[in-house]
Amino acid sequence: MEAKKANDYKFDISHLNLHYGDFHALKDVNMKIEANKITAFIGPSGCGKSTFLKTLNRMNDLVENCKIDGNVLLDGKDIFKEMDEITLRHRVGMVFQQPNPFPKSVYDNVAYGPRIAGIKKKSQLDEIVERSLRQAAIWDELKDRLNKSALGLSGGQQQRLCIARTLAVEPEVILMDEPTSALDPISTSKIEDLAMELKKDYTIVMVTHNMQQAVRVSDNTAFFLLGEVIEYNDTEKLFSIPEDKRTEDYITGRFG
Amino acid sequence: MYCVFRENSEQQYISLIKGENMKKQNMFTKEYAWRGLMTAGGLLVIAITICIGAFLIYKGSGTFTIFGHSIFEFLGSTDWNPEDNAQGGGTVGALIFIVGSLCTCGLALLIATPFAVGSAIFMIEIAPKFGEKFYRPIVEIFAGIPSVVYGWVGLTVLIPAIKKVFHLQVGHSVLAAGIVLALMIFPTISNVAADSIHSVPKDYRMAAYGLGSTRWQSIYKVVIPAAGSGILSGIILGLARAFGEALAVAMVIGQTTALPKGLFSTTKSLTTEIAAQMGNATEGGEMKTALWTMALLLFLLSLLFILLIHYFSRPKKDKE
């Protein structure tokens, strides 16, 4: 592998430790996340992969008794010391496990982010809504029902709407926390295609329960176990010639 | 040895089945008994409500049927002078009381709603731990204070204060009644609003934060709209309570039979007039019948409020 320049990495995480009360949830995590790539986190339930993902946009700040040490640099800037969480979350968007559109119209859902950022002009909002829905490949399905409630959409449509809502904020990174675990296979493949399309413009970090999904979409994969990163490598390498015995056991289905 | 064991176990098995069956029968007997009891309880409540409604209609319609007054006189005239005998011939304009009730309750709602909704947001969103442990129980105690205590405190604290602050001869007023009622309905609105804010899914808040909302933005733009129908139900429930309150209002409203001219006028409301006159009026007289009609009006109003609550808190259908 050629030596990579510093600005090829979006995130640079070093010596990250996270405690929930007495529980040591993340143990000395060191990782660099490449820009314009899809990075997948795999591992059994409770291994810390979602917790780690939520650290990247400081959603863990909302959890009580959560204590974080270590450095997380976004483009060289410490997200805990040199940034407030609001600015950070504008730059690092998030898509959740359960599709969670607001109980508002499709339009208002997508326009939510720009509106709270202070954009009021109708024409500008219209433009953002259309662009975001197009990017999320759902414009054709929804253009005639922009004023209908988002709760009436199917699960897969809701999830793509949530992605569009995230895109409307124009983030640099999109975090996806098992975005397809609540969806059927067809919707899942649509989301996967979308993720691969989006990586041209965005850095994507995805937690997944599904190893085939990691193989299909990701460029790099990290394997988490009991709060530690056991192995982090090029996806192809990690799945074909795992360096660690535990990784091999997990990906060959010996536990998990 | 083997045989004995087998026989034994077979017998045991049979007796076990019998026992099971007995138990099962017993279980179903209890099931029916309890279900019967619950059903009877439910039906009783429905029956009582319908009976009260029917009784009020029977008693209250006398003003229009026996004494021949028009419904427009009752609702639209301020001329209140019913005869206290069965011959009738007086006037039964209840507008003063209707306006008195509307003014005091409207004022109470205006005063209480911002504080109550604010307090609900505080206890659920801003300080959930403190809210759950201390604040909410305190608000609940607030709701449980008897109305005579509110009235008495209003009489001894509020009325002298109003006299002093606004340099008035008399402190009894629509304003005093509005404030006392506001205090009384505050906990009702606050509790119902808090429940509905609490039931807003956590997912919505996470989505709002994930998009870079501040706490206020997520409360104002996502949580409150999502809890809106519940908050509205709380407000209507508070309004219903305010309309029905007689004692505390009677103590501070001044009880003069005249339309209120402003915040500082004394007046009467539907409930205070019923409470004040029902003891003296002759059974079957025009006065008593007119009071029943006012009671019927209150009943219909509370029915309307309940219907409104159901309308607002109905499950939202997708607007396809």
Residues 163-192 of A with CB under 8 A from B: 165-166, 169
> B209-261 pLDDT, tens per residue?
999 999 999 999 999 999 998 999 999 999 999 999 989 999 999 888 888 88
Task: Point out the residue among A96, A112, A149 whose CB comes nearest to the CB of B203.
Answer: A96
**Residues of chain A neighbouring B320 (CB-CB closer than 8 A):** 148, 152
Q: Determine which of A230-244, B13-27, B48-62 has the lowest per-residue pLDDT on average.
A: B13-27
State the smallest CA–CA distance between residue B170 and chain A in angstroms: 51
CB contact under 8 A, B319 and A148: yes
Beta bridge partners of A9: A34
What pLDDT, on a 0 to 100 scale, did the predictor assign at position B19? 66
Assess whether B163 and B43 both reside in one domain. no
Query: Are the beta carbons of B127 and B215 closer than 8 angstroms?
Result: no
> From the candidates A85, A94, A148, A177, which should be mutated to test the interface with B, based on the most B CB atoms within 10 A?
A94
Cα–Cα distance for residue pair B141/B138, rounded to 1 Å: 5
Q: What proportion of chain B, given as a percentage, has pLDDT over 90?
A: 65
Residue B228 belongs to a domain with what CATH number? 1.10.3720.10
In this predicted structure, the answer to whether residue A183 has a pLDDT above a threshold of 90 is no
Predicted local distance difference test score (pLDDT) of residue B189: 95
User: pLDDT per residue over B97-109, tens digit each?
Assistant: 999 999 999 999 9
pLDDT tens digits, residue range A65-85? 889 999 999 998 899 999 999
Residues of chain A found within 8 Å of residue B203, distances taken between Cβ atoms: 96, 98, 100
**From CA B298, how far away is CA B293, in angstroms rounded?**
9
Instruction: Classify residue A133: in a domain, yes or no.
Output: no
Residue A99 tokens read as 């599709």
CA dist., res. A167 & res. A131, Å (int) = 9
How far apart (Å, rounded) are the C-alpha atoms in residues B221 and B227? 11
What integer is the mean pLDDT of A97-106? Answer: 93
Q: Please tell me the total count of domains within chain B.
A: 2
Tell me if A172 sits within 8 A of A201, measured CB to CB.
no
Q: Under a CB-based contact definition with an 8 Å cutoff, are residues B154 and B251 in contact? A: yes
Looking up tokens 């309309």 gives B243
In a domain, A137, yes or no: no
pLDDT in tens, A113-155: 999 999 999 999 999 999 999 999 899 999 999 999 999 999 9
For residue B262, the model assigns a pLDDT of 86
Domain count across chain A: 1
- Look at residues B289, B117, B300, B278 and name the one whose alpha carbon lies nearest to residue B192: B117
- Pick A102's closest partner by Cβ from B222, B318, B320: B222
Same domain? For B198 and B286 the reply is yes
What are the CA-CA distances from residue B31 to residues B26, B34, B41 (Å)? 9, 5, 15
Q: CA-to-CA distance for B186 and B197, rounded, in angstroms?
A: 16
Distance CA B198, CA B121 (A): 9
In a domain, A247, yes or no: yes
Is residue A1 over pLDDT 50?
no
Q: In degrees, to the nearest 5, what angle opens at C-alpha A24 toward C-alphas A22 and A28?
A: 145
Q: Enumerate residues 53 to 82 of chain A having a beta carbon within 8 A of any beta carbon in chain B.
A: 57, 59, 62
Of A90, A98, A104, the CB nearest to B203: A98
DSSP annotation of A69: E
For chain B positions 3-22, those within 8 Å of chain A (CB to CB) are: none
Q: Out of B203, B211, B318, name the one closest to residue A165 (CB).
A: B211
**Residue with the two structure tokens 């535990």:** A246
Tell me what the mean pLDDT of segment B127-146 comes to.
89
- Report yes or no on B81 lying in a domain: no
Helices and strands: H and E segment counts in chain A: 10, 10
Average pLDDT of the segment spanning B83-92: 87
Average pLDDT, chain A: 91
Contact in structure between A247 and A254 (CB atoms under 8 Å): no
Domain coverage including residue B248: 95-312
Say yes or no: A19 contacts chain B, CB-CB below 8 A.
no
Cα distance from N-terminal residue to C-terminal residue, chain B? 76
| Both structure tokens of B305 | 């409020």
Please provide the average confidence, as pLDDT, over all residues in chain B: 88
Label the pairing between strands A77-78 and A66-74.
antiparallel
The reply to whether B143 and B186 lie within a common domain is yes
What is d(CA A72, CA B155) in angstroms, rounded to the nearest whole number? 63
User: Of B33, B60, B87, which residue sits at a domain end?
Assistant: B60
Asked whether residue B56 falls in the same domain as residue B132, the answer is no
Does any domain span residue B66? no
Q: Is the dihedral of CA B201, B202, B208, B210 positive or negative?
A: negative
Report CA-CA distances (Å) from A197 to A190, A200, A212, B99. 11, 6, 18, 66
- The answer on B258 and B172 residing in a single domain is yes
pLDDT at residue B320 greater than cutoff 50: no
Give the residue among B69, B54, B3, B25 at the shortest CA–CA distance from B296.
B54
For residues B181, B187, B188, B193, the Cα torsion angle rounded to the nearest 10 degrees is 130
C-alpha angle B199/A92/A203, rounded to 5°? 130
- Contact between chains at B203 and A57 (C-beta distance less than 8 A): no
Residue pair A149/A179 in contact (Cβ under 8 Å)? The answer is no
Residue A155 located in a structural domain = no
Domain annotation covers residue A112? no
User: What letter represents residue A68's amino acid?
Assistant: I
B103 and B43 co-located in one domain: no
pLDDT at B13 over 90: no
In a domain, A75, yes or no: yes
User: pLDDT for A29-52, tens place per residue?
Assistant: 999 999 999 999 999 988 899 999
Pairing relationship of beta strands A92-95 and A173-177 according to DSSP bridges: parallel
Taking the CA of residue A198 and the nearest CA in chain B, the distance in Å comes to 18
Q: Which residue of A has its CA nearest to B217?
A: A116
Residues in Cβ contact with A229 at an 8 Å cutoff, skipping those fewer than 6 apart: A29, A30, A31, A222, A223
Structural element, H or E, at residue A28: strand A23-34
Candidate from A87, A89, A103 with C-beta closest to B211: A89
| B222–A166 C-beta distance less than 8 A | no
Q: What are the tens digits of pLDDT across the range B57-71? A: 999 999 999 998 999
d(CA B101, CA B81): 19
If asked whether residues B99 and B169 sit together in one domain, one would say: yes
Lowest mean pLDDT among A65-79, A228-242, B18-32, B203-217: B18-32
Position A22 pLDDT exceeds 80: yes
The verdict on residue B233 lying in a domain is yes
Report CA dihedral (B227, B231, B234, B240) to the nearest 10 degrees: -130
The neighbour count for residue B4, using CB atoms within 10 Å, is: 8
The Cα A215–Cα B4 span in angstroms is 65
Whether residues B306 and B181 fall in one domain: yes
User: Could you tell me which residue, B88 or B5, shows the higher pLDDT?
Assistant: B88
At residue A61, the pLDDT reads 85
How far, CA to CA in Å, does B262 sit from each of A169, B168, B245? 52, 13, 21
Residue B311 distance to chain A (closest CA, Å): 18
For residue A207, the enclosing domain spans: 6-99+172-251
A224: domain CATH number is 3.40.50.300
**pLDDT grade, residue B318 (50/70/90)?**
very low
pLDDT band at B88; cut points 50, 70, 90: confident
Q: Which of A57, A86, A100 sits opposite B214 (nearest CB)?
A: A86
